[in-house]
Amino acid sequence: MNDVKNPASDSLASPSHAAEKEKEEGSFVFFLIKLVLVVVIFRSFIFSPFNIPSESMLPRLINGDHLLAAKWAYGIGENNFPLLPGRYFASLPERGDIVIFKHPVDGTDYIKRAIGLPGDTIEMRDGQLILNGKAVPKVQVDDFIIPITPNTDCHPLAEIETLADGSMVCRYKQFKETLPSGKTYNVLDFGPFPKDNFGPIIVPEKSFFAMGDNRDNSQDSRFPPEAGGGVGIVPEDRLVGRATIMMWSTDGSSEWLLPWTWFTAARWSRIGGTL
């Protein structure tokens, strides 16, 4: 039995061990580089998360919603990947798509519904949308009711109700619109408002007309473009992507130091739905 170490054997093994360690470190670095590239490509060209910061798209989108946008839906370019000049595989939205785009003046991300495409004539008469000379069917449906939470205020023109359990909700009049393609969506309407009468205007080439579903609480294509305000007619090269999936939604009542509130604040019924 020989318990004495052989120095010569150790000296021969050391270079091999060092080479193995170096190979492992190199593999890890290569893995990190690949991971970063995958994340960059995924976020730049495929899907990217967006959050809803306002109530201009009620009732479909609520303050506190977090969604994934398909960034390849309308082509790729500098709005998807800043290092890529120009725009490739460009296309316009379909009427009714919920689109994310850069504000034509200040570059902020906006989210609205695409209503008019190039050549379309858009008009509003007493709150009725007129598309190419024909009224878009609009029928009243059940009121939209939403709990009042840290993420959700009640518009001054809406109704506030107190439920039996003491919680407060906001009630809005809700209408269903149906586009010529058959696509339907719900909108909110407070009654007579300044932009209930607008146009007619013709949407120019390589542009689209966007409107918020919360018709009387949305700075959209009915308003002239200005920083922090209306967007005017939106050029197609400002498109970022199409809203596709509801990834997460919170009512804003969670606290970082109280982990259980992360779950109680979630709007579970909204998560996972397609847009």
pLDDT of residue 9: 45
Mean pLDDT of 134-149: 96
Give the Cα-Cα-Cα angle 40, 92, 244 (nearest 5 degrees). 55
pLDDT of residue 88: 72
196-206 pLDDT, tens digit per residue, is 999 999 999 99
How far is residue 81 from each of residues 77, 127, 227, measured CA to CA in Å?
Answer: 6, 38, 23
Q: What is the dihedral angle through the alpha carbons of 140, 146, 152, 156, rounded to the nearest 10 degrees?
A: 50
3-state secondary structure of 9: helix
Could you say which of 71, 102, 112, 218 is catalytic?
A: 112
Mean pLDDT of 135-151: 96
100-113 pLDDT, tens digit per residue, is 999 999 999 999 99
Mean pLDDT of 228-237: 94
pLDDT of residue 8: 45
Helices (H) and strands (E) in the chain, counts: 2, 17
Closest of 249, 124, 237 to residue 189, by C-alpha: 124
Checking if the pLDDT of 75 tops 70, the result is yes
- The verdict on whether 27 is a catalytic residue reads no
Where does the pLDDT of residue 11 fall: very low under 50, low under 70, confident under 90, or very high at 90 and above? very low
**Most confident among 9-13, 43-47, 151-155, 219-223 (mean pLDDT):** 219-223
Could you say which of 56, 218, 221, 249 is catalytic?
A: 56
pLDDT of residue 48: 82
3-state secondary structure of 21: helix
- The verdict on whether 34 is a catalytic residue reads no
3-state secondary structure of 16: helix
Domains, the chain, in order of start with CATH, read 45-270 (2.10.109.10)
As given in the structure block, the two tokens for residue 115 are 């209503």
Give residue 216's Cα distance to chain centre: 20
Mean pLDDT of 184-199: 94
